[in-house]
Structure 1
Amino acid sequence: MKNVLYVFLAMLALTSCKKNDFVNFSGKITNQNSDSIVIANRQTGYNKVIKLDENGTFKDTLKVNDGYFAIFDGKQYASAYLRNGDEIVMDADGKDFINTIIFSGKGAAESNFMVKTAINQLEFNKGLIAMIELPQSEFDTKLTTYVTDFKSRLTNKVLDTAFTSAQTKNIEALEKQVKSMHEEKRYLKNELGQGKVAPKFVDYEKPDRETVSLDDLKGKYVYIDVWATWCNPCLAEIPSLQKLEKDYHDKNIQFVSISIDKRDDYFTWTDMVEEKNLGGIQLYANEDKEFPKAYRISSIPRFILIDPDGNIVNADAPRPSDPKLVELFNSLNI
C-alpha cells in the first residue's frame, strides 16, 4: 500500500512540475484604443486577437514559439518576450501605452526589460544625430555609458539565459553600428568636407549610350542623386526632384541621377527613365565601385552637391523633399 502511495505522490509531483505548453495571459487596459488587443510575431506569422470586456480586462491562453512579440492596442504597441509556461499579467493605460505598461507574474521580467529598453532607445535615438557629431572622446563616453547601463540591467538573475544572450548580441550590434555611423560622419567632415576636391566619376553612360564625366559638368553646380530602381525611398524622392529640376531649369545648376543598378537591371533602369520621364542627366554607373566607395555610400538614396569648380559643397546634401535643400541653394545664390 505504501509503495502505491509513493508512486501516486511521485506522479502527482511530476504532474505539478510539468511545464504548460501555453502562456496564461491576462490583464487590463484603461482608456483602451480598441475593443481588442493583438499579439503578433511578424517573423513567424503568429497573430492572436484577444477581445477586451467593457472594463478593458482580458484573459486568454497563447500557444507560442518562445520569442519576441508585439502587443498592439490600436496603433499603440509594446514588445514582450513570451514562453510557453509563463503566467503573465499586463496592465497599461491606452493614453500612454508604452510608458505605463507593466508586466507581472511568472516570466514577466524579460518583457519589463524590453519595455524599459524601448523607452531608453527612444531617448537615445532622439539624441543620436547630435551624438554622432561629437568629438571622439565625448562620443565614446556617451556610447560607453549607454552600453554599460544596458548590460548592467542584464545581470538580473531572474532573466532567462537565452534572452540575456540575445540581448547582449543586440546591444553589441547597436554599439558597432553607432560607431560606424560616427566614423562615417568624421570621414565625411574631414575627407569630404566643404571645399575638398570632389571625387570624380568617369565615362558614366546615358540611356542613349553617350558618356559623361564629372569634369564635363564644371562651370555649374552639380546636384547628384545616387539611386537604384529597386530602392523605394529613392523612388519616393523622384516627384520632389522633378519639381526642383523644373524650378531651376534655367539656373546655374545641373541635376545628375546616377543609377547603381546591377547589370542585369540595366534595361529596368532605361525603361524607368522613359516611363517616368526622368529629367536632368540620367547616368548608369555600370557597377563601378570607386565612386560610391569614395563617398562612403552605404545606403541610398544619397545626394551630393558640388560647386562649379569641382569642389564639394556638401557630400551628404539634403534630399529633394527636404526644405533645407532650397535654403542651401538660396544661400549659394543658385
Structure 2
Amino acid sequence: MKKWYCLRIIVLILSLNCFAQKSTKDYVRLSGKITDKNSDSLLVFINRKPLKRINIKTDGTFSDTLRVKEGVYGIFDGKEQGFFYLKNGYNLKITFDTKQWDETMAFTGEGAIPNKYLFKKALYTEKATSDKSIFQLGKDEFLARIDKIVAGYQKLLSETKGLEMPFVQSENKNFDDFKKSCVARYDKTTGLKKHQEEVLPKGKVSPKFSNYENFDGSKTSLDDFKGKFVYIDLWATWCGPCKKEIPFLKACEKEFHDKNIVFVSISTDRVKDHDKWKKMVTDLGLTGVQLFANGDTSFETAYEVIGIPRFILIDPQGNIVDPNAPRPSEDRLKVLFKESGVQ
C-alpha cells in the first residue's frame, strides 16, 4: 500500500511539473521598472484595440501576465507608446525612463533579443526617415536613397544574433513593404504636386479664410495680412508629426520676426476640441498667430489638403507662392523664403 501511495505521489509531482512547464508557454510574463512614470498603468494594445491594462506600483515597478498571439503589440504609458514583440513563453523584463523612452529602453529575460532589435530599429527609422525632402528628388536619386535606408535595416537585422527564422523572414518582408510604400507615396506626391501646380499655380490669387477665431480673442481673416508674406501651418492637437514641427517653427519665427512675413497656425481640430486647442497653445507656448477654424473646412478644401501638417506660402499681394511649402524642419524652407523675397 505504501508503494502505491508513494507512486501516486511521484505521478502527481511529475504531473504538476509537466503542467507548470506547459503553463509557462501559455502566456507572456511582463515585468520591470519605469523611472518617472507618466501614469499608474500600462495599456497593452494591438491594432488600436486594448488587450490588457497593467498596474504600475508607486515605485515604478510592474508585473503581470497575458496570453497573446505571437506578434507586435503596442504599450502606452499614458503619454508615450512603443511597440514590442510578444510571444507566449516569454519572461520579458523591461526598464526605461519616460523622459527618454527609446534611448533608455532595456530588456532582459526571454524575448529580450527581438525587442532590443526592434528598439534599435526604431531609433534608426527616426533618423533615416527624418528628411522628408527626399520626396522632392528625381525618381532615380529617390530610389537610391530608399535603397540605402533599406540596406541599413538589413545590416541591423543581420548583426542581431539569436533571432528566430520566422521573425527574420517577417522583417525582410517588412523591408520590401517599406520600399513599396515609399515608392507609392513618391508617385502620389509627384502626381499631387503636378496637379496642384495646375489648379493652384504660383501667382494665382490664394483661396481665403475669413473671421477665424484668434487666440487673443479677436477675429482674423487672410486679408488682414496684405502687405506681408504669410506662412500658414495647418495642424491639429492630435497630430504627432504636427507637434514635432513646433520647435522648428518657433525657431523660424524667431529668426524672421523682424522680416516682412507673418506666421499663421490654423487649428483644424474638431469644434468639441476647442478648449484642448487653447490649452495646448498655452502649455506649449506657441508663438505667431494662432487661429481656430471652428469646423470650417473651406480653406482646406480649396487647397486640396489630404494630410497634415500642411504648409502654404502666400505673397504680400495675396497670391500663391507655394501651395505645398517645405516644413520648418526642412532647410529648403529658408531657401524658398530668400528666393521669394522675404527680407
Paired residue secondary structure (1:221): coil
Question: 2:300 and 2:146 mapped to 1: Cα distance?
Answer: 40
Q: Which runs of structure 2 are paired with 1:47-196 in the superposition (5 Å)?
A: 47-54=52-59, 56-126=60-130, 128-155=131-158, 158-183=162-187
Q: What is the count of residue pairs matched by the alignment? A: 257
Contact residue 224 and residue 305 of structure 1 kept, 8 A: no
| Cα-Cα RMSD | 5.1
Contact residue 132 and residue 182 of structure 1 kept, 8 A: yes
- Shift in Å, 1:147: 0.9
TM-score normalised by structure 1 residue count:
0.55
- Shift in Å, 1:41: 0.6
Paired residue secondary structure (2:206): strand
Contact residue 33 and residue 62 of structure 2 kept, 8 A: yes
Q: 1:223–1:100: structure 2 CA closer, same or farther, 3 Å change rule?
A: same
Paired residue secondary structure (1:174): helix
Matched, 1:26 2:31: yes
- Shift in Å, 1:88: 0.6
Question: 1:77 and 1:284 mapped to 2: Cα distance?
Answer: 32
Matched, 1:199 2:207: no
- Shift in Å, 1:28: 2.3
CA deviations over 1:197-242 (Å, ceiling 9, x no partner):
x5359xxxxxxxxxxxx9xxxxx832248xxxxxxxxx9xx768x9
- Shift in Å, 1:101: 0.7
Contact residue 32 and residue 73 of structure 1 kept, 8 A: no
Q: 1:48–1:139: structure 2 CA closer, same or farther, 3 Å change rule?
A: same
Runs of 4+ in 1 over 6 A off after TM superposition: 275-279, 281-285, 300-307
- Shift in Å, 1:22: 1.8
Q: Which runs of 5+ in 1 are unaligned?
A: 202-213, 215-219, 226-234, 252-274, 286-290
Compare CA radii of gyration and give the structure with the larger one.
1
Q: Percent identity?
A: 26
Q: Which runs of 5+ in 2 are unaligned?
A: 229-292, 328-332
Paired residue secondary structure (2:73): strand
Aligned to 2:205: 222
TM-score normalised by structure 2 residue count:
0.54
Letter in 2 for 1:151: Q
CA deviations over 1:95-119 (Å, ceiling 9, x no partner):
3221111112112222222211211
Aligned to 2:322: 314
Letter in 2 for 1:100: T
